[in-house]
């Protein structure tokens, strides 16, 4: 398949692995920030092919994993209303709230639907004027432009029965939170290529310099990931720390300005709580006051939702790369994709789900 097969070429993979082995002289801890990259490493069995000195740790870049429990409980409360058609991307439906998930709401009669685009939700609102259509607008910089566009479209069409629950988060503040933590172990980052395709990587040089950490913008195919690893390890071995772009076919320094303008026309920067990490200042986007009419939390008055947390899950440590999923006592026992203790085991992009799916008992000869 064009644009894929050439980045999965086994000979090139082997050559890059040889290069990595030859340039690695000591132990390094490298975080791939994005859940899609975690899955790619494990899906291709690539993690086990790296030299033992390289420790991959998995970052908080899973939009489902870091959506706070409060937002999920609010979504469940709204989705349970008889006058609401609740729409979401598929992954969100299985994430446990305090007492149930959105699939359970649907099983009890709630009108909960999977959509492939937020614009589909706007279309549903037009087609169902007697219902309130709510879209769960979560995700990183990748989903924000389309979600912003949906709100803009609803406003331009004067659609009154459409609203969104927003829980958008931004990657750079999370990287700084991890690097600034007293328990940080991350020595280099593979930055998420698709996030940078939207936002560029102009924020990264100053982070690399401030924390003395190499940051390499990386794609999602095996050769992309290995090229990113080579760049990161070369920098680590040389004691350098700059922001590099190994995903030049998709990423420009300044990113996609049109998409950024769309985001800024609807959202404003806000403090945002990350599940597993806590509140990170200015790390998210919320609807700007001009679009308050489209804020489902205001429309349905769900501000006093109470959440219930459990002490069993170490998702926070997983999301910061402090522990691997297999280092969790509950992994594969109490916590499985059927009975997830936390979001990283639920989401298709969650690190725990990736380990459970691809890596649970494989012994590598």
Nearer to other proteins, 14 or 160 (CB): 14
In the complex, least distance from residue 278 CB atom to other proteins, rounded to whole angstroms:
6
In the complex, least distance from residue 243 CB atom to other proteins, rounded to whole angstroms:
18
In the complex, least distance from residue 180 CB atom to other proteins, rounded to whole angstroms:
5
What is d(CA 39, CA 37) in angstroms, rounded to the nearest whole number? 5
> Which residue in the block uniquely carries the two structure tokens 């092919």?
49
In the complex, least distance from residue 160 CB atom to other proteins, rounded to whole angstroms:
26
Q: What is the edge-to-edge ordering of all strands in the sheet holding 278-287?
A: 111-114, 84-88, 132-139, 162-169, 278-287, 267-274
What is d(CA 254, CA 248) in angstroms, rounded to the nearest whole number? 12
Nearer to other proteins, 223 or 242 (CB): 223
Nearer to other proteins, 16 or 30 (CB): 16
- Name residues whose C-beta falls within 8 Å of residue 301's C-beta, 6 or more positions apart in sequence: none
Contact, 260 vs 203, CB < 8 A?
no
Nearer to other proteins, 275 or 299 (CB): 275
In the complex, least distance from residue 146 CB atom to other proteins, rounded to whole angstroms:
10
In the complex, least distance from residue 235 CB atom to other proteins, rounded to whole angstroms:
23
Nearer to other proteins, 13 or 236 (CB): 13
Contact, 116 vs 157, CB < 8 A?
no
In the complex, least distance from residue 349 CB atom to other proteins, rounded to whole angstroms:
6
What is d(CA 291, CA 295) in angstroms, rounded to the nearest whole number? 7
44: left (phi over 0), alpha (psi -120 to 50) or beta: alpha
Nearer to other proteins, 125 or 335 (CB): 335
Residues facing 244 on adjacent strands: 216
In the complex, least distance from residue 224 CB atom to other proteins, rounded to whole angstroms:
12
Nearer to other proteins, 188 or 353 (CB): 353
Nearer to other proteins, 235 or 320 (CB): 320
* Among candidate residues 145, 224, 237, 153, the one with its CA nearest the CA of residue 190: 224
Q: What is the DSSP string of 114-178?
A: E-SSHHHHHHHHHH-TTSEEEEEEEESTTTHHHHHHHHHHHHHTT-SSEEEEEEEE-HHHHHHHH
Between the alpha carbon of residue 70 and those of residues 23, 64, 97, 111, 250, the distances in Å are 46, 13, 8, 21, 35
């Amino acid at each position: 398949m064009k644009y894929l097969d050439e980045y999965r070429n086994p000979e090139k993979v082997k050559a890059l692995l040889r290069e990595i082995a030859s340039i690695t002289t000591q132990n390094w801890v490298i975080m791939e920030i994005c859940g899609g990259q975690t899955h790619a490493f494990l899906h291709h069995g690539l993690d086990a092919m790296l030299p033992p000195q390289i420790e991959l740790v998995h970052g908080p870049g899973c939009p489902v994993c870091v959506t706070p429990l409060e937002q999920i409980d609010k979504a469940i409360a709204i989705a349970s209303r008889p006058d609401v058609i609740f729409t979401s991307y598929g992954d969100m439906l299985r994430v446990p709230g305090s007492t149930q998930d959105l699939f359970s709401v649907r099983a009890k009669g709630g009108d909960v639907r999977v959509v492939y685009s937020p614009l589909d939700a706007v279309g549903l609102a037009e087609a169902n004027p007697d219902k309130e259509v709510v879209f769960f607008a979560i995700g990183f910089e990748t989903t924000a432009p389309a979600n912003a566009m949906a709100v803009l479209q609803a406003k331009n069409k004067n659609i009154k029965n459409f609203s969104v629950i927003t829980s958008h988060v931004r990657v750079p503040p999370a990287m700084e939170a991890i690097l600034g933590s007293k328990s940080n172990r991350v020595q280099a980052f593979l930055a998420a290529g698709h996030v940078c395709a939207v936002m560029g990587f102009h924020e990264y040089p100053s982070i690399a310099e401030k924390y003395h950490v190499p940051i390499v913008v990386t794609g999602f195919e095996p050769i992309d990931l290995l090229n990113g690893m080579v760049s990161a390890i070369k920098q680590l071995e040389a004691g350098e720390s700059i922001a590099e772009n190994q995903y030049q076919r998709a990423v420009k320094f300044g990113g996609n300005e049109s998409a950024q303008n769309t985001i800024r026309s609807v959202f404003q920067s806000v403090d945002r709580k990350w599940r597993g990490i806590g509140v990170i200042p200015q790390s998210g986007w919320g609807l700007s006051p001009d679009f308050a009419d489209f804020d489902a939390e205001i429309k349905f008055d769900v501000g006093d939702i109470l959440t219930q947390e459990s002490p069993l899950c170490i998702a926070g440590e997983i999301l910061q790369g402090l522990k691997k999923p297999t280092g969790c006592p509950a992994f594969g026992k109490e916590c499985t994709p059927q009975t997830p203790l936390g979001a990283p085991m639920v989401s298709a992009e969650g690190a725990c789900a990736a380990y459970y799916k691809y890596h649970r008992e494989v012994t590598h000869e």
